[in-house]
Structures are given as C-alpha cells and as structure tokens.
Amino acid sequence: MAEPAPEFVEAVLSVVAAIPEGKAMAYGDVAAAIGSRAPRGVGQVMAYYGGEVAWWRVVRASGHPPADHEREALERFRAEGTPLLWSRDGGSFRVDLDAARHVPE
C-alpha cells in the first residue's frame, strides 16, 4: 500500500493535534490549513497514522464521521462534549461544524 510522504504526514498530524477538545474539522479544512487541497490525501494519512492522533475530530464536510468508525467517534464526541446533531430517530448523528468547527491560525 502507498505510505504517504513524512512531510505531508507531519503537516497533517500537526494540524489534527492542534484541534482542541470539543472541536472538529473537515478533511477539506485540514487540507486547506496545510496549504493543500487534498482532502483525500489527508484521509490517506489518517488511514495509516490515524491511530496516533485524534482522528475522530476530523470529519466530512457534512459532519459525518469516517466510514466504519462512527461508533468509536461517538464515544469520543460524547466524552468530550462535542456538539452533535442527531437524526429525528436518533439512529444517526453528525458533528455540528457550525459550532464545533476549529479555525486554525
């Protein structure tokens, strides 16, 4: 599998690590924060090095958590008090980026 370049990885991890508790960022926002436009590249890094960072604070532009990881993410969000928007039946949720969006310097 394709292992991302250390520089790009370091840049992504740095941004993700800078997200405070109760906050969140979209993949596109992270990419923009490092001066790139590769939300997919960010996803690649998370897939390999996500175990060393708060990957749950990185969600899609719609606020949906990463695929196959929403259960883990939910526990983190619930523990950190991240603003969540639940569906009417409570079967699914999404992060309220309007309130939880972290704006890097």
Partner DNA sequence: GTCGTGACAGTAG
Partner DNA sequence: ACTACTGCCACGA
List of residues contacting DNA (CB under 7 A): 1-5, 7-8, 26-28, 36-44, 46-47, 50-51, 55, 60-62, 66-67, 69, 87, 92, 94
- In the bound complex, what is the minimum distance in angstroms from residue 54's beta carbon to DNA? 10
Residue 48: partners with Cβ closer than 8 Å, 6 or more residues away: 1, 3, 4, 9
| Residue 44 or 82 having the CB closest to DNA | 44
Stated as kind and residue range, the H or E segment containing 93 is strand 93-95
Angle at 9 between CA 74 and CA 36, to 5 degrees: 90
Comparison of 81 and 92: residue with beta carbon closer to DNA: 92
Closest approach of DNA to the CB of residue 100, in Å: 14
Regarding beta strands 84-86 and 93-95, do their DSSP bridges make them parallel or antiparallel, or are they unpaired?
Answer: antiparallel
Nearer to DNA, 17 or 61 (CB): 61
